[in-house]
Chains A and B, each alone.
Chain A
Amino acid sequence: MISLEKQVAQASLKLKNLAQKSHLAHKHRQQPPARLKKQDIVLYVENLTVSFDGFKALNDLTFYLNSGELRCFIGPNGAGKSTMMDVLTGKTKVDSGSAWFVPDPGDPNPSHMLNLLEMDEVSIANAGIGRKFQKPSVFETLSVAQNLELALSMNRSVFKTYRSRLNGEQQDFMMATLEKIRLSSLANALAASLSHGQKQWLEIGMLLMQKPSLIMLDEPVAGMTPEEIEMTIALLHELKGQHTIMVVEHDMDFIRAIANQVVVLNQGTVLAEGNMDSIQSDPRVIKAYLGEGL
């Protein structure tokens, strides 16, 4: 296991160097990136810059995400973690940079890659990127099962929804998801009646119903009790490998429990990258976090 982690770490370091070398050439590239050495990259984020009224929320952010990996992003407040997710899900427009997504990791054809910066929220969601927001947002006046049903991946045409009914297979899938998010017994309860932690799970469940290949979780354990955090960790371990997962979180113990690869963001750019131990002993990281109790 450890050697595998090392390999991954080395590979991504190599990629980073490679990206830095080709930085200038790729500044305004509209073409999908030529395949880099690693074959299973699903997300290419290069030189993203976003500024709000002169303040650079993202500053030349570059990273690559491998298929099936779970990558954590940490960083002090204002480091650009949520902005990064906003950009990648079509909510915020960038000043410069590029973000390419491979919808099907098994398909090596670069022309099937998607330019996320040219897509809106809806097409990005339909391309297989699911996002859980910082604040749990579920449909409060619908039941748990109905929330999941709406998220179920299927034809999104508005006319089709008028006649749509769940078939047996979809019901089974929903049951399995309910099981996974530990809400089987509350399937017919109103989402509004759930606890904070349960709402977070329901939102993760909705993500799973979308069958996304890339999942973005923005502070998934914020406001959870220690028991709920334990269960979320178990859930994430279950999902690891089936989906590519990006997690933004402040809770260090939680990150230590789930992540093999951690990226530290600071002032909109990557400050350090590596496993948890090397990150925590990195003097630059300590400096950035000074007083925040890392």
Chain B
Amino acid sequence: MNELTVQEKFLSGETKSFILVTALLGAVVVMLSLMPEGSFIHLPVYVVNLLGKYVTYAILALSVDLVWGYLGILTLGHCVFFALGGYVMGMYLTRSIGAQGVYGDPLLPDFMVFLNWHELPWYWQGLQYFPLAALLIICVPALLAYVFGRLAFFSRVSGVYLSIITQALTYAMMLAFFLNELGFGGNNGLTDFKTLLGFSLQTDGMRILLFALSVVTLCLCYLLCRSVVVSKLGRLCIAVRDAENRVRFIGYRVENIKLLIFVLSAVIAGIAGALYVPQVGIINPSEFSPVNSIEIIVCVALGGRGRLYGAVIGAFLVHIAKTMFTNLMPEFWLFALGALFVLVTLFLKDGVAGLLCVHLKTGSTETLTDKA
């Protein structure tokens, strides 16, 4: 009799290679950037910074893959959680500026002085403490995801309607954050950050450190997601994706499954946003823009969904392409993005990771490819 293999191994070959490759590439980048400046293998720090930004997008893509690839919810507004995590980090960094701002007010951020505000709003209180900021980076996206999920999943909104609502959510948040009255800096957002935990953000060392931190976070988030998808919970997600009603009839509360995964994914997205902000040095409402969320969806589709590492590969490919396009012909980027999405859905259903898989295992995954 065959042996029953219900649960995949947590540290599968793919997982091990992913962690190994990511750690190795991260280490190489750090080492190259530490080479003496004149040396021809020296990596300029701005490239490290750029790569660090990509890594945070990769973490975001990972969180989208969890929701879209495994649970089958096409979320077109996941950047809302990314941006919220970013805003909390931005608030912490703004508070850290202290009296070093343009107006030199020890308490109020510059934009509040500019708006003639005299008091710090209540939601800015205490954010000068990093532990509270760190807690909020997790809690704020989680809370929004919980409230949203509670409303959407429990009234059994699904499919395309849910996608539209997620998009409306991020759009509404963008409009709200544009308002000066809300107290988040209006359309300029929060910027001119000086220090993080007392260390200057402008030094090369800090930039390299932030990059390394992002890579480590990517690996940890990957392992977390992996532990979810190999568990029975992960198989339930796939079951919900395949036949939601059937899952109800074998006695599971589908809404709870969706809610849990959605909140988890929002937390990961929030952490990604919090790592993103100190590296780019600004957070403004355009991070809520629906286009950003769609970009991440394209990343996951291109990389291959339902594979975790596919999302990471996709995030790098799309954002490298974006950087190149916006340098050469910025007005064409959105067309290229759209074309990429169409081409991937038509010709590359399993994405780049699917291609890799087929090449590595020479056909053993073909049945999977056909059915997916």
C-alpha spacing A174/B6, complex, angstroms: 11
Q: Residue among A145, A153, A175, A184 with the most chain B CB within 10 A?
A: A145
On whether the beta carbons of B238 and A139 are closer than 8 Å, the reply is: yes
On whether the beta carbons of B253 and A158 are closer than 8 Å, the reply is: yes
A171 within 8 A of partner (CB): yes
C-alpha spacing A23/B241, complex, angstroms: 44
User: Whose C-beta in chain A lies nearest to the C-beta of B260?
Assistant: A158
Task: Determine the chain B residues whose CB is within 8 A of the CB of A153 once the complex forms.
Answer: 251
On whether the beta carbons of A142 and B2 are closer than 8 Å, the reply is: no
On whether the beta carbons of A156 and B251 are closer than 8 Å, the reply is: yes
On whether the beta carbons of A162 and B228 are closer than 8 Å, the reply is: yes
C-alpha spacing A171/B236, complex, angstroms: 18
**Surface stretch bound by B, among A13-21, A47-55, A119-127, A274-282:** A119-127
Interface residues on A, range: 35 or more
B202 within 8 A of partner (CB): no
User: Whose C-beta in chain B lies nearest to the C-beta of A126?
Assistant: B251
On whether the beta carbons of A125 and B250 are closer than 8 Å, the reply is: yes
Task: Fill in one digit per residue for B353-372: 1 if any A CB lies within 8 Å of its CB, else 0.
Answer: 00000000000000110011
C-alpha spacing A146/B229, complex, angstroms: 13
Question: In angstroms, how far is the closest chain B Cβ from the Cβ of A245?
Answer: 16
> Given A89, A142, A165, A193, which contacts B235 in the complex, CB threshold below 8 Å?
A142
C-alpha spacing A234/B231, complex, angstroms: 35
B343 within 8 A of partner (CB): no
User: Whose C-beta in chain B lies nearest to the C-beta of A174?
Assistant: B4
B243 within 8 A of partner (CB): yes
A-B contact count (CB 8 A): 108
Task: Determine the chain B residues whose CB is within 8 A of the CB of A187 once the complex forms.
Answer: 2, 4
B17 within 8 A of partner (CB): no
A135-171 at interface with B (beta carbon < 8 Å):
137-143, 145-146, 149-151, 153, 156, 158-159, 161-166, 171
The B interface is mostly helix, strand or loop, or mixed, namely helix
Known: A146-B6, A175-B4, A184-B1. A141 touches B371 (CB 8 A): yes
User: Whose C-beta in chain B lies nearest to the C-beta of A147?
Assistant: B239
Task: Fill in one digit per residue for B238-258: 1 if any A CB lies within 8 Å of its CB, else 0.
Answer: 110111011111111110110
On whether the beta carbons of B232 and A150 are closer than 8 Å, the reply is: yes
> Given B4, B233, B246, B247, which contacts A162 in the complex, CB threshold below 8 Å?
B233
> Given A122, A131, A174, A192, which contacts B253 in the complex, CB threshold below 8 Å?
A122
B7 within 8 A of partner (CB): yes
On whether the beta carbons of B250 and A185 are closer than 8 Å, the reply is: no
> Given A139, A146, A165, A190, which contacts B243 in the complex, CB threshold below 8 Å?
A139
Task: Determine the chain B residues whose CB is within 8 A of the CB of A139 once the complex forms.
Answer: 238-239, 242-243, 246
Question: In angstroms, how far is the closest chain B Cβ from the Cβ of A129?
Answer: 9
A206 within 8 A of partner (CB): yes
Task: Determine the chain A residues whose CB is within 8 A of the CB of B232 once the complex forms.
Answer: 149-150, 161-162, 164
User: Whose C-beta in chain A lies nearest to the C-beta of B261?
Assistant: A158
Residues of A at under 8 Å CB distance from B? 89, 121-122, 125-126, 130-131, 133, 137-143, 145-146, 149-151, 153, 156, 158-159, 161-166, 171, 174-175, 184-185, 187-188, 190, 192-193, 206, 210
* 10 pairs, CB–CB < 8 Å, chain A vs chain B: A122-B248, A122-B254, A139-B242, A140-B371, A156-B251, A158-B236, A162-B231, A166-B6, A184-B1, A187-B2
Beyond A161-B233, A163-B231, 5 extra complex contacts between A and B, CB < 8 Å: A140-B242, A149-B232, A158-B260, A161-B232, A175-B4
